[in-house]
Amino acid sequence: MLRRIAVALAATLVLTALTLLGRFAWGGPFPPEQMAEILFANIPVWAFTPLFRLFGYSSKYWAFAAMVGLHLLLWTGAGAWLHDTGWRMRLAGLAGLLAFALILLPLGGAGWFGAGLPAGAVGSVATLVAAVLLYGGVLALSSRGGRATASAPDRRDFVRTAAFALTATWGLTLLGSFWARALAAADDLWRAVVGLPPEIMPVGKFYTVSKNIFDPALTAAKWSLEVKGLVERPYRLTYAELKAFPSVTQSATLMCISNEVGGDLIGNAQWKGVRLKDLLARAGIRPAAVEVILRAADGYSDSFPLKKGLEDGVLVVYEMNGAPLVKEHGAPARVIVPGIYGMKNVKWVTSVELADYDYKGYWEVRGWSDEAIYKTMSRIDVPTGPLKAGEGAYMGGVAFAGDRGVRGVEVSVDGGKTWQKAVVKSPLGPFTWVLWALPWTPPAPGTYTLTVRATEKNGTVQTAEVRPPLPDGSSGWHSVTVRVG
Ligand SMILES: Nc1nc2c(c(=O)[nH]1)N[C@H]1C(S)=C(S)[C@@H](COP(=O)(O)O)O[C@H]1N2
Ligand SMILES: [Mo]
């Protein structure tokens, strides 16, 4: 019996270690934590007051410790009891998982299946399944040996199990603490680097570009959107009808094709709107259609291939950063097309037309790119002024690769002879820029040339070839010189 309890305890420790790792590494469920949440949420006032008097502000830690104890007791007890009975163990594991996902997690404030946790429902359930499998694995490992022979190998087997469990526990905990520390350090980094742009640009700081002296002042009440051309059932959509369609909120970065290397005609915002493909589906796309033409209230127009227009990320948006679009950014509605330059993101849009030819828009007829696919860029935003030799400082900035995504950013402080990997903040979405940063202590006084380059998710390194914005968008690496005193 003692042996069974010990094995069950070992299995429980492995399960506990894995969930603890998940708690700090990817925000998964940690059973004692959710148990404590339930306790805190349901403790009656008459019990709370004396307990608080007894334990003071450390009450919550005592309560948590008690829940850890209860958790160890429950799993160890169950393991010892179910020991060696394959199907019963499997059934119990499944029941335990379901109880956890459907009772403990929702009651503990983590949502159904842990959907409210940072790991999300899938991550939470995956963590639990992995934890329970490991737990079952430890139990099975020792019972298999136990069944094969009688007493003597029993002990050897137990030692092996215990060693496995201890190593696994130790390894996972170590991994978890490293991970947690790395995450904390990364968080500190983004707070420490002064001078980076906000990941989501406030509306008032977001760059604006338009061809107009005076932008159109439209009202939502009078605005409408025509869906026409090569469609089965052309229609006209009011603002209220647009808002009645299922909405999507997504982060997307916009950059003007006339942005110079190192320039600031780039920004990132959170957009809310309706998928263009949903609007087109209501009209019914005729087979001959290959192009989407957008026209706007200021006489502007642009286009992109229908294939692009049917992508999930292409939206007709009416909100920017949680508020209705303002005039400068296209009120009451504009189009957001991830992956292609700002000029295709038509503001004050009034019609969507499907056509069977390659339409040339306002800027295309003036010589600018028709495809207008974002070129990968990276920019140095800090340091902004002179530095002191031997004093810790930071380099940092942004990088963007359209809808291809940024994998990494490198910086050189010696004019491109050697490169260092920067820390890259994980993007807010598949269509957004990333922040990058790197601590740097200039070794000696002098003038340094800092250069940055990004690598796309597919491994392509940002091109060093210097090109002006016209006609396809600028390219080349951004450099700044820094004086170190
Ligand atoms: N109707 C209309 N839409 C337009 C433009 C315009 O002049 N008229 N300018 C385009 C250009 S060149 C860019 S870079 C983006 C800029 O969007 P923003 O002002 O919201 O940053 O809008 C695009 N959409
Ligand atoms: Mo632009």
Sequential DSSP letters for 203-229: GGGS----S-SS-----TTT-EEEEEE
Q: Is the CB of 347 under 6 A from ligand 1?
A: yes
- Strand 315-320 and strand 323-324: the pairing is antiparallel
**In this structure, are residues 271 and 206 in contact, taking their beta carbons and an 8 Å threshold?**
no
455 CA → ligand 1 middle, Å: 27
Please report which ligand is nearest the Cα atom of 473.
Answer: 2
Q: Is the CB of 348 under 6 A from ligand 1?
A: yes
From the CA of 298, give the closest atom in ligand 1.
1
Phi, psi of 173, deg, nearest 5 = -65, -45
From the CA of 347, give the closest atom in ligand 1.
3
Position 152 scores a pLDDT of 44
DSSP-derived 3-state class of residue 345: coil
Q: Is the CB of 220 under 6 A from ligand 1?
A: no
Integer Cα distance of 407 and 399 in angstroms? 10
Choose which residue among 315, 345, 377 to substitute to test ligand 1 binding: the one with the highest number of ligand atoms within 8 A of its C-beta.
Answer: 345
Write down all domains in the chain, each with its CATH number in brackets.
2-192 (no CATH), 203-366 (3.90.420.10), 377-484 (2.60.40.650)
Non-local (6+) Cβ contacts of 70 within 8 A are 32, 35
Phi, psi of 442, deg, nearest 5 = -60, 125
371 CA → ligand 2 middle, Å: 13
**In this structure, are residues 218 and 212 in contact, taking their beta carbons and an 8 Å threshold?**
no
Cα→Cα distances 392→55, 195, 346, 384, 443, Å: 44, 15, 44, 14, 10
Position 82 scores a pLDDT of 78
Q: Is the CB of 304 under 6 A from ligand 1?
A: no
Tens place of pLDDT for every residue, the chain, 485 residues?
Answer: 788 888 899 999 999 999 999 998 888 999 998 888 888 777 776 676 677 667 666 677 788 888 899 999 999 998 888 776 667 777 777 787 888 878 888 888 788 888 888 888 888 888 888 898 888 888 877 765 544 433 444 566 566 666 665 666 566 556 655 665 666 666 778 888 999 999 999 999 999 999 999 999 999 999 999 999 999 999 999 999 999 999 999 999 999 999 999 999 999 999 999 999 999 999 999 999 999 999 999 999 999 999 999 999 999 999 999 999 999 999 999 999 999 999 999 999 999 999 999 999 999 998 999 999 999 999 999 999 899 999 999 999 999 999 999 999 999 999 899 999 999 999 999 999 999 999 999 999 999 999 999 999 999 999 999 999 999 999 999 999 999 99
Q: CA angle at residue 381 from 377 to 385, to 5 degrees? A: 145
Closest by Cα among 457, 425, 350, 12 to 189: 425
Q: CA angle at residue 301 from 298 to 307, to 5 degrees? A: 145
DSSP-derived 3-state class of residue 410: strand
Choose which residue among 205, 207, 210 to substitute to test ligand 1 binding: the one with the highest number of ligand atoms within 8 A of its C-beta.
Answer: 210
302 CA → ligand 2 middle, Å: 12
Angle between helices 31-42 and 59-82 (to 10 degrees): 120
> In the chain, count of helices (H) and strands (E)?
11, 18
342 CA → ligand 2 middle, Å: 5
Q: Is the CB of 345 under 6 A from ligand 1?
A: yes
From the CA of 210, give the closest atom in ligand 1.
7
Integer Cα distance of 194 and 185 in angstroms? 16
The helix (run of H) or strand (run of E) holding residue 438 is strand 434-440
Choose which residue among 301, 347, 366, 377 to substitute to test ligand 1 binding: the one with the highest number of ligand atoms within 8 A of its C-beta.
Answer: 347
Q: Is the CB of 144 under 6 A from ligand 1?
A: no
Q: Is the CB of 256 under 6 A from ligand 1?
A: yes
| pTM of the full structure | 0.68
Position 162 scores a pLDDT of 61
Q: Contacts for 303-309 with beta carbons within 8 Å, 24 or more apart?
A: 303/344, 303/355, 303/358, 303/359, 303/360, 303/361, 304/337, 304/340, 304/344, 306/354, 308/337, 308/339, 308/340, 309/276, 309/277, 309/280, 309/337
Q: Is the CB of 268 under 6 A from ligand 1?
A: no
Task: Give the number of other CB atoms < 10 A from CB of residue 86.
Answer: 13
Strand boundaries in 206-325, DSSP class E: 224-229, 235-238, 248-255, 266-275, 291-296, 301-305, 315-320, 323-324
Unique residue bearing structure tokens 């999507």: 248
Integer Cα distance of 136 and 145 in angstroms? 14
Choose which residue among 223, 303, 343, 369 to substitute to test ligand 1 binding: the one with the highest number of ligand atoms within 8 A of its C-beta.
Answer: 343
Count Cα neighbours of 83 within 13 Å in the Cβ-side half-sphere.
22
From the CA of 256, give the closest atom in ligand 1.
14
DSSP-derived 3-state class of residue 291: strand
Non-local (6+) Cβ contacts of 251 within 8 A are 200, 268, 269, 270, 271, 427, 428, 429, 431, 432
Position 158 scores a pLDDT of 60
352 CA → ligand 1 middle, Å: 16
193 CA → ligand 2 middle, Å: 29
Please report which ligand is nearest the Cα atom of 470.
Answer: 2
From the CA of 208, give the closest atom in ligand 1.
19
**In this structure, are residues 479 and 265 in contact, taking their beta carbons and an 8 Å threshold?**
no
Ion ligand 2 residue ranges (Cβ < 5 Å):
209, 256, 342-343
Q: Is the CB of 296 under 6 A from ligand 1?
A: yes
Integer Cα distance of 38 and 303 in angstroms? 55
Residue nearest to atom 24 of ligand 1 (CA): 346
Please report which ligand is nearest the Cα atom of 205.
Answer: 1
Q: Is the CB of 211 under 6 A from ligand 1?
A: yes
424 CA → ligand 2 middle, Å: 26
Integer Cα distance of 216 and 239 in angstroms? 17
Q: Write out the two tokens for 103.
A: 């009772």
Q: Write out the two tokens for 274.
A: 């309706």
Q: Is the CB of 113 under 6 A from ligand 1?
A: no
